Homo-oligomer: A and B are copies of this chain.
Amino acid sequence: MKARALGLGLALLAMAGGALAPPPALAQSGPDVARAYRQANEAVILGEFAELLRYPNRAFTPELREAAVYIRDRMREAGVETELLELEGASPLVLGVVEVPGATRTLGIYVHYDGQPVDPSSWTHEPFEPTLYDAAMEAGGRPIDLPPEGAPVDPEWRIYARSAGDDKAPIAAILPVLRSFTEAGLTPTSNLVFMFDGEEEAGSRNLGTYMEMASDVLDDIDIWLFFDGPAHSSGRPQVVFGVRGASGMEVTVYGASRNLHSGHYGNWAPDTGIILARLLASMKDDDGRVLVDGWYETFDAIGDEERAALEAMPDGEDELKRELGLVRTEGEPETLPERLLLPALNVRGITSGNTGDLAANVIPNTAVASLGIRMVRGNTAEQLRELIVAHIERQGFHVVEDDPDMETRLRYPRIAKVTGGLVGSIASRTSMANPFAQSVTAAARAAAERAFGEGALVVAPGMGGTLPLYLFTDVAGKPAMVVPVANHDNNQHAPDENLRIANLWYAIDLYAALMTMPSTVF
């Protein structure tokens, strides 16, 4: 095994001490066991979560190794054979393995322990000094002390700290689930591989290499579960079958070789703002439909299961529009979940001259637009870039890659520089017809209903954002699902990030259900 060859001593091992020995006939289900354990230890679990949150974990920093060691040690204490994989200049990958004798299925569980950079001055409290509140700050919550062991815990409390939601909550839920199983003599129904990424917020730049290093362990995985991300915008828990890829490019159009006085030349000199406006206007109609030829012929169609799931998605359109102050959205009457299954083209920014107090009487010599592109399965950044470049050319522009020299300027009446967009992160989608995915959905549905009531689970064919799922689906060739637990208003990537305690309890229910889901579904 490669991992062994690297001296990691990593293998699929039965959990230590026989505590997770093959199951006897059990009176209690996995979720029951985990919930009972949680209810008996709420203040302790919360205290451990706070301890984990105190480890600084700013992306790109060496401080991450301490957090990795801490996670490794806690996983080992919970009975999981766990090692650090380390590459020079990279954060360690924490890899833990639970081999279950007789199990015919292996779940890969992905969590990341690094967090977004913080600017403490915009936080109410120190980002790495977790602070408990009796409700969300916006709802008038007040800071309270962490409860002593045995004291009751209100599920509406929130704990504020960097990574409370993104993505330490899953770690804080995995550990008590594993301990509850050990205590009850319960064994998971699948082999488990835990992978804690220390570079997610840094673009998971070494994850591919780490995954190759651990391929002997990872090759056996049947489905990857991403314990990351927030609940659906409706507030309901969700499972997600795909993410969009992302790329960006920049378009610069040119007027005269220098800024010109708008009095002396206005009405005669090319008006770069208008030239860019006319180009951008040609790319998208008033309803938000992308007018770039071929744009909607580039990707894989969705299947019947996805269409059915779309129909079953909660109708949050009106509420979301009200929240965002919108009467009209792009592509109406299509809904947000439907729109997220299409490749998107957006203007991320425009700069030309100045506005406001800085506006001067000039005709700016350039106008620049930054385009954001979101891809769905079947798209590549290069392919969409080609379509956009062809579109720009059809609008009469000579397309260049560098600022034009005088000779080029004097040859072409319209010149556009296009930069970027050649590479991007890749979209991913797992078929809802996949039998492993169906088992996971069933287990998540049960956990969500137990925690939040009947019909609580949202099953989303795809989300709009971007995660490195393609490393799992396209590179490693496995199905992969996102199984989030954080509250939708957890302020991830922002100041005052937080986790609602009820969502931590849901995570415990959910993970217990996933680790003990019946094998009979497939």
List the interface of chain A (C-beta within 8 A of B).
Answer: 244, 246, 248, 250, 255-258, 260-274, 276-281, 283-284, 286, 288, 322-331, 336, 339-340, 342-356, 358-364, 367-370, 372, 374, 396, 404, 406, 409-414, 463-466
Interface pair A330/B261, CB less than 8 Å apart: no
A409–B327 alpha-carbon span in the complex (Å): 7
Please list 27 pairs of residues, one from A and one from B, whose beta carbons are closer than 8 Å in the complex, sorted by A's number: A246-B361, A258-B324, A261-B464, A263-B464, A266-B344, A266-B346, A267-B345, A268-B339, A269-B324, A269-B329, A269-B330, A271-B284, A271-B347, A274-B284, A276-B277, A276-B350, A277-B281, A277-B347, A347-B364, A348-B353, A348-B354, A349-B358, A350-B350, A350-B367, A355-B368, A359-B370, A361-B372
Interface pair B267/A340, CB less than 8 Å apart: yes
Q: Separation in Å of the A519 CB from the closest CB of chain B?
A: 35
Closest chain B residue to A289 by CB distance?
B267
Max chain B CB contacts within 10 Å: which of A267, A326, A367?
A: A267
Closest chain B residue to A268 by CB distance?
B339
A265–B321 alpha-carbon span in the complex (Å): 12
Q: Separation in Å of the A124 CB from the closest CB of chain B?
A: 19
A291–B359 alpha-carbon span in the complex (Å): 23
**Chain B residues near A250 (CB, 8 Å)?**
355-356, 359
Interface pair A322/B410, CB less than 8 Å apart: yes
Interface pair B280/A328, CB less than 8 Å apart: no
A283–B274 alpha-carbon span in the complex (Å): 8
A414–B358 alpha-carbon span in the complex (Å): 26
Say whether chain A's binding surface is mostly helix, strand, loop, or mixed. Answer: mixed
Interface pair A347/B256, CB less than 8 Å apart: no
Closest chain B residue to A395 by CB distance?
B286
Q: Separation in Å of the A175 CB from the closest CB of chain B?
A: 30
**Chain B residues near A336 (CB, 8 Å)?**
265, 268
Assuming the A-B contacts A374-B262, A464-B265, are A356 and B327 also in contact, with contact meaning beta carbons closer than 8 angstroms in the complex?
Answer: no
Assuming the A-B contacts A257-B325, A327-B409, A356-B250, are A281 and B270 also in contact, with contact meaning beta carbons closer than 8 angstroms in the complex?
Answer: no
Assuming the A-B contacts A270-B326, A330-B268, A340-B268, are A372 and B262 also in contact, with contact meaning beta carbons closer than 8 angstroms in the complex?
Answer: yes
Q: Separation in Å of the A248 CB from the closest CB of chain B?
A: 6
Interface pair B350/A352, CB less than 8 Å apart: yes
Closest chain B residue to A349 by CB distance?
B353
**Chain B residues near A364 (CB, 8 Å)?**
347-349
Interface pair A350/B353, CB less than 8 Å apart: yes
**Chain B residues near A404 (CB, 8 Å)?**
325
